[in-house]
Structure 1
Amino acid sequence: MIHHAKTSSNAPLVCALAYDGLCTFEFGIAVELFALARPEFDQWYRYATVKSEPGPIRATGGITMQADGGLDLLSDASLIIVPGWRGADTPVPDTLCEALRAAHANGARIASICSGVFVLAAAGLLDGQSATTHWRYTDKLAKMYPAITVNPDVLFVEGDGVYTSAGSAAGLDLGLHIIRQDFGAQVATSVARRLVLPAQRDGGQRQFIPRPEPMARIGSGLATLQDHIRTSLNESWPVDRMARESGTSPRTLARRFHEELGITPLNWLKSERVARAAELLERGGVPLTDVWDICGFGSAETFRRDFRKIMGIAPNKYRARLGAEANPL
């Protein structure tokens, strides 16, 4: 049964795939975004759960599901959601690959959440395109499918009628992006508000902030130095001072950072300052014009450059996507 929520028969049909071993959270994202009734809108999607193969549909958490129909429903789909997959090394049925290729050729958009990218890749829909997935799977994806340009950092990527998103929660960002394309910013913002989510996070935003730690924190001289610097990020920390604080030479310190963290002392310091700045921006209350000084960037220009390089987004946009007040830099 295809679900209607104040929709006409020509409203866009969203189909979410269901398979044995279904990723419950990722599937729930598709349902929450596209299947719920939205009586506040003049028009909304039609929605159907599509069984991807014969046999039972058992989801994580001991749930057994019933679908609205089989792969034939995909021929009418405007958007197909692939909510994860049961394993990167688990073969994708030929019938599913064929149905996805046919739907795509018929004009359907296809979007994956997290490991669902392996279904799109198996169907050949990502060859010659950029794509992303959860950072745990990016190396495997690149190795298994060298025709795909894998971007390991971003939240989601939009290609030629295909969309791929990173870890599970990034599926929410991608879904809101698609809703914004279909119905406009006001509708997407309303859906985000109902979900208590930021109205928009740019797809190019980084999945996470790398904060390298020593391989053995307990008893590590580097760990002690790191903890000291984190309590005084607003101060100047040239390599000479780091070396003095750790009781070693700058050359030895650089070697230890490389051996334990795989990074230079100054690049580690930069990542710590950006991570601290991100925390301040997320909390709100601290003007942007003060954040760079608190975190020790030295200037607003350095703050903007380093933050964008590591986070993939400007500081003011990072704060704006959380709905916090921002004083422009």
Structure 2
Amino acid sequence: MLRDVVALVWDGVGMFGVGVVSEVFGDDRSADGLPAYDFALVTERPGKIRTDAGIQLFVEHGLARAASADLVVVLGWEQVVEDPPEAYLQVLRDAVARGARVMSHCTGAAVVAASGIADGRRLATHWHYADAVAARYPAVDVERSALYVEDGPVLSSAGTAAGIDACLHLLRAEHGVAVANGVARRMVVPPHREGGQAQFVEGPELPPQEGHRLREVLVWAGERLDQPLPVEELAARALMSPRSFARHFRVLTGTTPHAWLLAQRVALAQDLLESTDLAVDEVARRAGFGASTTLRQHFTRRVGTSPQAYRRAFRGSPVEAPAPPAQRTQPPAVPAVAARRHDPAALARP
């Protein structure tokens, strides 16, 4: 049972990651019937450290404190092309040897990879650093699209908010759905983000050829969101039957083609509402909803407010309208569902 949790920190550690693990494991919610943990930040040389935000933390405990931990959390290490200190790597090896879990957040995956405990395993990290980590640690199977991945004793997550997803997944595994949902309610976050890349935790891997074809189809569809995109047409482009396409699509994205397209269209509508003066009817057309009433229905359901109210809240200074989706040179990130900083319930990117 998970009781004792430590997080490894160092100069330049990500402040967001420190906040996430401290919120999940350091806040005593026992009065609400939720588990309480013996939680500590640990570092090689106790004392003051500086976070990536320039904020100083006083860390009381040295690495010896990690010897009793059931879970060792590895926070961001953005110097992914440099060797982490050996003392931290040994903490991870010792943890796995005694049966403890290790969880990484964002670029903390590089530290996990350097320790050797992820050799032959899948490991998630922030997409921006994935190639660098994969090149430096070829024995590790770096997962570029998953929000989080569990492979044996190692649980790894992508950047920023994906750390919350991984923590809640761990709580579900350790304590059940009720505890994970209770902590999520206290944190005012969704207990599980539907679809998106989170489903890679359980999903089987696709053969490379199928995965490549599907990703090409997602890029193609993401550039044509203003057009009708029936599943039959997408399947034909992937050289699959509609049934096989739907099955493979779920493995790749964790959701259905219809849900993926809907999320992409809502995300595009949000971008257009923020960055252009286009009328709502035109936004609806460019985002593939056709009519403003259809846009309003799906937008309100997913974002929690109307398109007009969203524009009033988040519209910046007027800018020139972008080209229609079919002419865009930068397609949406793939695979992904709506990833908006304004709507925690719709987040789906790392």
TM-score in terms of structure 2 length = 0.59
- The 1:97/1:186 distance shift into structure 2, 3 A limit, reads same
Paired AA for residue 277 in structure 1 = L
**What whole-Å deviation, never above 9, does each CA across 1:124-149 have from its counterpart, x for those lacking one?**
11001111111111111111111111
Alignment CA distance shift 1:40-1:236 (3 Å): closer
Equivalent residues in 2 for 1:42-81 (5 A)? Answer: 43-53=35-45, 56-81=48-73
TM-score by length of 1: 0.63
Alignment-derived partner of residue 91 in structure 1: 83
- In the alignment, residue 122 of structure 2 is paired with which amino acid? S
Aligned to 1:34: 25
Please tell me whether the aligned partners of residues 12 and 51 of structure 2 are also in contact (alpha carbons under 8 angstroms). yes
Distance 2:299 2:192 in 1: 17
Question: How do 1:104-123 residues align onto structure 2 when only pairs under 5 Å count?
Answer: 104-123=96-115
Larger radius of gyration: 1
d(CA) in 2 for partners of 1:42 and 1:237?
47
**8 Å contact kept, 2:47–2:60:** no
Which structure is higher in helix share? 2
1:24 aligned partner? 15
Question: SS in structure 1 opposite 2:107?
Answer: helix
Gapped regions of structure 2 (runs ≥ 5): 202-214, 234-255, 267-296, 303-333, 338-343
- Asked if structure 2 preserves the Cα contact closer than 8 Å seen for 1:35 and 1:47, the reply is yes
RMSD over aligned Cα atoms: 3.6
Counterpart residue number, 1:144: 136
Deviation of 1:160 after TM superposition, in Å, equals: 1.7
Shift of 1:191: 1.0
Q: 2:179 aligns with which of 187, 201, 222?
A: 187
Correspondence list, 1:190-209, <5 A:
190-201=182-193, 203-204=198-199
* Secondary structure at the counterpart of residue 87 of structure 2: helix
Partners of 2:7 and 2:41 within 8 A in 1 = yes
The one-letter code of the counterpart of 1:26 is G
Structure 1 residue 237 displacement after superposition: 12
CA contact (8 A) 1:132 1:155 kept: yes
Residue identity over aligned pairs, in percent, reads 33
**CA 1:196 to 1:237, structure 2 compared with 1: closer, same or farther past 3 Å?**
same
Aligned length: 238
Tell me the CA shift for residue 230 of structure 1.
Answer: 3.9
